[in-house]
Homo-oligomer: A and B are copies of this chain.
Amino acid sequence: MTNFISVIIVEDKIEMCRQIKSLLEKTDDIKVIATFHDSKSALEKIPEYEPDIVLMDLNLPDGSGIECIKNLKPKLSKTQFVILTMFDDSELVFKGLSHGAIGYLLKRSINDELVKSIYEAYKGGSPMSTQIARMVVKSFQNNKAIDEDLLTKREWEILEQLAKGKKYKEIGETLFISVETVRSHLRKIYEKLHVHSSKEAILKYFGKNHSR
Protein backbone atom coordinates (compact mmCIF):
# COMPACT_ATOMS: atom_id res chain seq x y z
CA MET A 1 0.00 0.00 0.00
CA THR A 2 1.00 3.53 -0.70
CA ASN A 3 -0.20 6.77 0.84
CA PHE A 4 -3.51 6.80 -0.98
CA ILE A 5 -6.39 4.42 -1.71
CA SER A 6 -6.20 3.29 -5.33
CA VAL A 7 -9.54 2.89 -7.07
CA ILE A 8 -10.53 1.53 -10.47
CA ILE A 9 -13.94 2.27 -11.95
CA VAL A 10 -15.67 -0.15 -14.32
CA GLU A 11 -18.70 1.55 -15.82
CA ASP A 12 -19.89 1.60 -19.42
CA LYS A 13 -21.56 5.00 -19.45
CA ILE A 14 -18.69 7.45 -19.90
CA GLU A 15 -20.51 10.41 -18.42
CA MET A 16 -21.39 8.49 -15.24
CA CYS A 17 -17.82 7.28 -15.05
CA ARG A 18 -16.46 10.79 -15.18
CA GLN A 19 -18.93 11.96 -12.58
CA ILE A 20 -17.87 9.25 -10.15
CA LYS A 21 -14.24 10.01 -10.77
CA SER A 22 -14.63 13.69 -10.03
CA LEU A 23 -16.57 12.89 -6.87
CA LEU A 24 -13.76 10.71 -5.64
CA GLU A 25 -10.96 13.06 -6.55
CA LYS A 26 -12.23 15.77 -4.28
CA THR A 27 -10.40 13.80 -1.63
CA ASP A 28 -6.63 13.69 -1.58
CA ASP A 29 -6.19 10.18 -0.26
CA ILE A 30 -8.28 8.53 -2.98
CA LYS A 31 -6.86 8.19 -6.50
CA VAL A 32 -8.69 6.79 -9.50
CA ILE A 33 -5.84 4.97 -11.22
CA ALA A 34 -7.85 3.64 -14.17
CA THR A 35 -11.31 3.35 -15.69
CA PHE A 36 -12.79 0.68 -17.95
CA HIS A 37 -15.97 0.60 -19.98
CA ASP A 38 -16.40 -3.07 -20.74
CA SER A 39 -15.71 -6.30 -18.91
CA LYS A 40 -13.25 -7.72 -21.47
CA SER A 41 -10.65 -5.01 -21.04
CA ALA A 42 -11.35 -4.87 -17.32
CA LEU A 43 -10.58 -8.55 -17.01
CA GLU A 44 -7.33 -8.15 -18.94
CA LYS A 45 -5.92 -5.03 -17.40
CA ILE A 46 -7.08 -4.78 -13.81
CA PRO A 47 -4.75 -7.49 -12.45
CA GLU A 48 -1.73 -5.37 -13.43
CA TYR A 49 -2.92 -2.47 -11.31
CA GLU A 50 -3.64 -4.37 -8.10
CA PRO A 51 -6.04 -1.66 -6.95
CA ASP A 52 -7.31 -1.37 -3.40
CA ILE A 53 -10.89 -0.97 -4.55
CA VAL A 54 -12.81 -1.73 -7.73
CA LEU A 55 -16.12 0.04 -8.27
CA MET A 56 -18.04 -2.27 -10.57
CA ASP A 57 -21.14 -1.53 -12.56
CA LEU A 58 -23.32 -4.58 -13.10
CA ASN A 59 -24.82 -3.79 -16.47
CA LEU A 60 -21.84 -3.94 -18.76
CA PRO A 61 -22.37 -4.32 -22.50
CA ASP A 62 -20.38 -7.54 -22.83
CA GLY A 63 -21.39 -9.60 -19.83
CA SER A 64 -22.36 -9.14 -16.26
CA GLY A 65 -20.15 -7.39 -13.76
CA ILE A 66 -20.74 -10.29 -11.41
CA GLU A 67 -18.92 -12.58 -13.81
CA CYS A 68 -16.17 -10.04 -13.89
CA ILE A 69 -15.80 -10.05 -10.11
CA LYS A 70 -15.90 -13.82 -10.04
CA ASN A 71 -12.96 -13.96 -12.42
CA LEU A 72 -10.90 -11.18 -10.92
CA LYS A 73 -11.33 -12.09 -7.28
CA PRO A 74 -8.93 -15.06 -7.22
CA LYS A 75 -6.17 -12.99 -8.82
CA LEU A 76 -6.63 -10.01 -6.53
CA SER A 77 -6.97 -11.21 -2.98
CA LYS A 78 -6.34 -7.77 -1.50
CA THR A 79 -8.77 -5.91 -3.70
CA GLN A 80 -12.23 -5.05 -2.40
CA PHE A 81 -15.04 -5.06 -4.95
CA VAL A 82 -17.93 -2.67 -4.49
CA ILE A 83 -20.92 -2.96 -6.76
CA LEU A 84 -22.46 0.20 -8.17
CA THR A 85 -25.78 -0.26 -9.85
CA MET A 86 -29.00 1.43 -10.87
CA PHE A 87 -31.30 -1.29 -9.58
CA ASP A 88 -32.17 -2.45 -6.09
CA ASP A 89 -33.23 -5.88 -7.26
CA SER A 90 -32.88 -8.39 -4.47
CA GLU A 91 -31.76 -11.24 -6.71
CA LEU A 92 -28.89 -9.09 -7.95
CA VAL A 93 -27.90 -7.98 -4.48
CA PHE A 94 -27.68 -11.50 -3.11
CA LYS A 95 -25.89 -12.72 -6.21
CA GLY A 96 -23.41 -9.86 -6.04
CA LEU A 97 -22.64 -10.30 -2.37
CA SER A 98 -22.35 -14.06 -2.59
CA HIS A 99 -19.95 -13.79 -5.53
CA GLY A 100 -17.35 -11.79 -3.69
CA ALA A 101 -18.49 -8.18 -3.67
CA ILE A 102 -17.91 -6.57 -0.34
CA GLY A 103 -20.39 -3.74 -0.70
CA TYR A 104 -23.36 -2.67 -2.74
CA LEU A 105 -24.29 0.91 -3.59
CA LEU A 106 -27.13 2.38 -5.57
CA LYS A 107 -26.13 5.01 -8.11
CA ARG A 108 -28.91 7.30 -7.00
CA SER A 109 -27.34 7.60 -3.57
CA ILE A 110 -23.68 7.91 -4.46
CA ASN A 111 -23.46 11.64 -3.99
CA ASP A 112 -23.89 11.36 -0.26
CA GLU A 113 -22.19 8.09 0.38
CA LEU A 114 -19.53 7.30 -2.17
CA VAL A 115 -16.43 8.75 -0.58
CA LYS A 116 -17.38 7.51 2.89
CA SER A 117 -18.07 4.09 1.40
CA ILE A 118 -14.63 3.87 -0.15
CA TYR A 119 -13.05 4.48 3.22
CA GLU A 120 -15.27 1.89 4.84
CA ALA A 121 -14.52 -0.71 2.21
CA TYR A 122 -10.83 0.00 2.60
CA LYS A 123 -11.04 -0.49 6.35
CA GLY A 124 -12.70 -3.86 5.89
CA GLY A 125 -16.27 -2.71 6.34
CA SER A 126 -19.20 -3.37 4.08
CA PRO A 127 -20.73 -0.22 2.66
CA MET A 128 -24.36 -0.60 1.73
CA SER A 129 -26.95 2.02 1.12
CA THR A 130 -29.77 2.03 3.62
CA GLN A 131 -32.18 0.51 1.11
CA ILE A 132 -29.88 -2.41 0.43
CA ALA A 133 -29.39 -3.11 4.12
CA ARG A 134 -33.15 -3.14 4.44
CA MET A 135 -33.40 -5.82 1.79
CA VAL A 136 -30.78 -7.89 3.47
CA VAL A 137 -32.58 -7.67 6.79
CA LYS A 138 -35.83 -8.62 5.11
CA SER A 139 -34.17 -11.73 3.80
CA PHE A 140 -33.53 -12.78 7.37
CA GLN A 141 -37.03 -11.99 8.48
CA ASN A 142 -38.56 -14.13 5.76
CA ASN A 143 -36.88 -17.02 7.52
CA LYS A 144 -39.52 -16.87 10.26
CA ALA A 145 -40.45 -20.30 9.17
CA ILE A 146 -42.13 -22.30 11.93
CA ASP A 147 -43.70 -21.05 15.14
CA GLU A 148 -41.61 -22.35 17.99
CA ASP A 149 -44.64 -23.50 19.92
CA LEU A 150 -46.01 -25.53 17.04
CA LEU A 151 -43.70 -28.47 17.69
CA THR A 152 -42.82 -30.15 20.96
CA LYS A 153 -39.28 -30.23 22.29
CA ARG A 154 -38.68 -33.73 21.02
CA GLU A 155 -40.22 -32.96 17.65
CA TRP A 156 -37.82 -30.05 17.24
CA GLU A 157 -34.91 -32.35 18.00
CA ILE A 158 -36.08 -34.80 15.38
CA LEU A 159 -36.64 -32.08 12.79
CA GLU A 160 -33.24 -30.59 13.52
CA GLN A 161 -31.60 -33.93 12.83
CA LEU A 162 -33.60 -34.35 9.67
CA ALA A 163 -32.50 -30.89 8.58
CA LYS A 164 -28.92 -32.06 8.85
CA GLY A 165 -29.62 -34.52 6.08
CA LYS A 166 -29.78 -37.62 8.23
CA LYS A 167 -31.95 -40.59 7.45
CA TYR A 168 -34.45 -41.98 9.93
CA LYS A 169 -32.18 -44.74 11.08
CA GLU A 170 -29.36 -42.31 11.84
CA ILE A 171 -31.69 -39.98 13.73
CA GLY A 172 -32.76 -42.89 15.88
CA GLU A 173 -29.16 -43.77 16.63
CA THR A 174 -28.30 -40.19 17.55
CA LEU A 175 -31.26 -39.78 19.87
CA PHE A 176 -31.21 -43.35 21.20
CA ILE A 177 -34.68 -44.28 20.07
CA SER A 178 -35.95 -46.79 17.54
CA VAL A 179 -36.54 -45.99 13.88
CA GLU A 180 -40.19 -46.60 14.45
CA THR A 181 -40.33 -43.87 17.03
CA VAL A 182 -38.57 -41.50 14.69
CA ARG A 183 -41.16 -42.31 12.04
CA SER A 184 -43.87 -41.80 14.58
CA HIS A 185 -42.61 -38.34 15.47
CA LEU A 186 -42.11 -37.36 11.87
CA ARG A 187 -45.64 -38.37 11.04
CA LYS A 188 -46.88 -35.79 13.56
CA ILE A 189 -44.36 -33.21 12.42
CA TYR A 190 -45.43 -33.53 8.80
CA GLU A 191 -49.03 -33.22 9.86
CA LYS A 192 -48.35 -30.04 11.80
CA LEU A 193 -46.29 -28.49 9.02
CA HIS A 194 -48.76 -29.57 6.34
CA VAL A 195 -46.09 -31.30 4.30
CA HIS A 196 -45.70 -34.76 2.88
CA SER A 197 -41.98 -35.31 2.58
CA SER A 198 -38.70 -34.71 4.32
CA LYS A 199 -37.75 -32.36 1.49
CA GLU A 200 -40.67 -30.05 2.16
CA ALA A 201 -40.14 -30.22 5.92
CA ILE A 202 -36.52 -29.18 5.53
CA LEU A 203 -37.51 -26.28 3.29
CA LYS A 204 -39.95 -25.04 5.92
CA TYR A 205 -37.31 -25.48 8.59
CA PHE A 206 -35.00 -23.15 6.69
CA GLY A 207 -37.78 -20.77 5.75
CA LYS A 208 -37.38 -21.51 2.07
CA ASN A 209 -40.97 -22.42 1.40
CA HIS A 210 -42.20 -19.27 -0.30
CA SER A 211 -40.31 -17.04 -2.67
CA ARG A 212 -36.77 -16.97 -3.90
Contact = CB atoms under 8 A, between A and B. Distances in A.
Interface stretch (A22-30, A36-44, A126-134, A173-181): A126-134
Contacts of A208: 163, 206
Given A125-B134, A206-B206, A143 B197 contact: no
A98 B167 contact: no
A115 B205 CA distance: 37
B100 A141 contact: yes
A167 to B, nearest CB: 7
A92 B54 CA distance: 31
Copies of this polypeptide in the complex:
2
B130 A126 contact: yes
A133 B125 contact: yes
A137 B131 CA distance: 15
A120 to B, nearest CB: 5
A102 interface: yes
Nearest to A125: B130
A197 B198 CA distance: 11
Given A206-B206, A206-B208, A200 B165 contact: yes
Nearest to A99: B144
A75 B137 CA distance: 21
A126 B120 contact: no
A72 interface: no
Nearest to A102: B137
A39 B198 CA distance: 38
A136 interface: yes
B206 A140 contact: no
**What 9 pairs across the A-B complex have the smallest Cβ distances?**
A125-B130, A126-B133, A165-B200, A97-B140, A98-B140, A126-B134, A126-B137, A165-B199, A165-B203
15 contacts: A97-B140, A97-B141, A102-B134, A120-B130, A123-B130, A124-B134, A125-B133, A126-B134, A126-B136, A162-B199, A165-B203, A167-B199, A199-B199, A202-B202, A202-B203
